[in-house]
Amino acid sequence: MSLFHKMLASIGIGAAKVDTKLLSERLMAGDDVEGIIEIAGGHIAQEIDHIYLSLYATYTVEANDRKTTAHALIGKWKVTNRLTVDAYEKRIVPFRFTLPIDTPISVGKTKVWLHTGLDIKQAIDPTDEDYIRVEPTPVMTALLATMEALGFRLREAECKKASWHHRLPFVQEFEYVPKSGLFHGKLDEVEVIFFPLSQTEVDVLLQIDRRARGIGSLLAEALDLDESYVRFRLTSEDVPHLSQKLSQLIQSYG
């Protein structure tokens, strides 16, 4: 009977099950992620080599005029060393780790989730997935709100493949178009990319796309010469004067 149960457990029938429960599903990058992993033993005792948590996010890959969705590993954490879960045993394993500061914001099509895995030799590993709502940090929120206050409207927010990024295979782009205000009719769009350093400090890359006017501007647009890039550092101390600073930057390069 035990041999029969072992055979079933090896293909996932009657094996241990895992369920991860988060203290909070709404977090900012840089926050502590806390929760518990509930393990329910199956029909037989099983030895677990280790329990791990992996954080993933979706991003878009464009190739041959086609878009596909890929998954990127943001971080991975080992929760326990080897342990044995007896038949029908209920075990709770607490965990805590820091959400990486470059975790993308949950906006648009971007999804972020936590994958829990139990590594069991010669058996199908039990897994669990839990989605996390990642909120922007206060300085990021301030910049996005300032873009809206300057008359821009968010057209698209998406994580896109970027081989030049130093750690992750993508960057998250916020694409804004001017609908009113000073830049209406002067710019086609402004793309915002964040490179967070902490919850109070972030590097910002703006891609400013000027609207074509006349033959010379049309030629420049065709050659992508109508685009300007500006990178600057934003801290919580800059927030009170952010509207003026951002407006001057866009005017200077637009």
Q: Judge if pTM exceeds 0.75.
A: yes
Q: What is the pLDDT of residues 3-21, one digit of tens each?
A: 433 433 343 434 678 899 9
pLDDT at 126: 55
What domains sit in the chain, N to C, each tagged with a CATH number?
A: 2-135 (2.60.40.640), 138-253 (no CATH)
Supply the pLDDT for residue 86.
Answer: 85
Three-class HEC string of the chain: CHHHHHHHHHCCCCCCEEEEEECCCEEECCCEEEEEEEEECCCCCEEECEEEEEEEEEEEEEECCEEEEEEEEEEEEEEECCEEECCCCEEEEEEEEECCCCCCCCCCCCCEEEEEEEECCCCCCCEEEEECEEECCHHHHHHHHHHHHCCEEEEEEEEEECCCCCCCCEEEEEEEEECCCCCCCCEEEEEEEEEEEECCEEEEEEEEEECCCHHHHHHHHHCCCCEEEEEEEEEHHHHHHHHHHHHHHHHHHC
Q: What is the pLDDT of residue 12?
A: 40
Q: Residues in the chain with pLDDT < 70? A: 1-15, 120-126, 165, 211-226, 254
What pLDDT digit, counting tens, does each position of 66-85 carry? 889 999 999 999 998 888 88
